[in-house]
Chain A
Amino acid sequence: EPEVTQTPSHQVTQMGQEVILRCVPISNHLYFYWYRQILGQKVEFLVSFYNNEISEKSEIFDDQFSVERPDGSNFTLKIRSTKLEDSAMYFCASSPRWSLNTEAFFGQGTRLTVV
């Protein structure tokens, strides 16, 4: 069964460093998303991406964050200068189309620890 894969599974970085989280969405999907979940809290939407541009972003997704689909298969989330409060699980998701009548497929997540 096709799945969304994320790498690395765990990333430790020092405060102020740049980090790139990588995702390979399901191959024929067109919509891509990043969500995050701080330990013990809700899953929060960060950004959605379609046709090589951001279609929606949340207030969390400020200038420190960026997304890219560099090569037609990978979908990356970059945090330019990490803060302690960026420590969280980051989930990538993809869906085959934009529609209220479709499901999203999530990866297993990358645990980001900022020290």
Chain B
Amino acid sequence: DAKTTQPNSMESNEEEPVHLPCNHSTISGTDYIHWYRQLPSQGPEYVIHGLTSNVNNRMASLAIAEDRKSSTLILHRATLRDAAVYYCILTGGNKLVFGAGTILRVKS
């Protein structure tokens, strides 16, 4: 499974945008880039995914570099409820391989 690299932690102020980076330099042509998050004491929750083009949904936006070796999850206005571990995952098979993710702290 191709690997991803994310910062261990990030901090944001409430109501401000947050950009969570992910590097995946060994991504293959068929790997989708998925983002999940895990709120405290809960199961992982799907956020967004994409292949080549930028994607938007009600939760977030995903910006994918042209060479696909990196991507950025964008939360447009962070709230306290967005404090969680965010995982960037490449799906090259029929399973999700979770890394350590980025712990996002949101300050009020």
- A residues near B (Cβ < 8 Å) are 4, 31, 33, 35, 42-45, 48, 55-56, 91, 93, 98, 100-101, 103-109
Contact = CB atoms under 8 A, between A and B. Distances in A.
User: Which 5 residue pairs are nearest across A and B when measured between Cβ atoms?
Assistant: A106-B43, A103-B46, A43-B98, A100-B32, A45-B95
A48 B95 contact: yes
Contacts of A109: 42-43
Nearest to A98: B94
Which of A31, A43, A56 is packed against the most chain B CB atoms within 10 Å?
A43
Given A42-B98, A42-B100, A43-B38, A100 B91 contact: yes
B43 A56 contact: no
Given A100-B30, A100-B31, A100-B32, A56 B93 contact: yes
A109 to B, nearest CB: 5
Contacts of A55: 94
Given A101-B32, A108-B42, A109-B42, A33 B99 contact: no
Interface residues of B, number: 23
B80 interface: no
A91 B87 CA distance: 16
A91 B43 contact: yes
Contacts of B45: 106
B60 interface: no
B42 A100 contact: no
A100 B44 contact: no
A4 B96 CA distance: 17
B21 interface: no
Given A91-B44, A103-B49, A42 B99 contact: yes
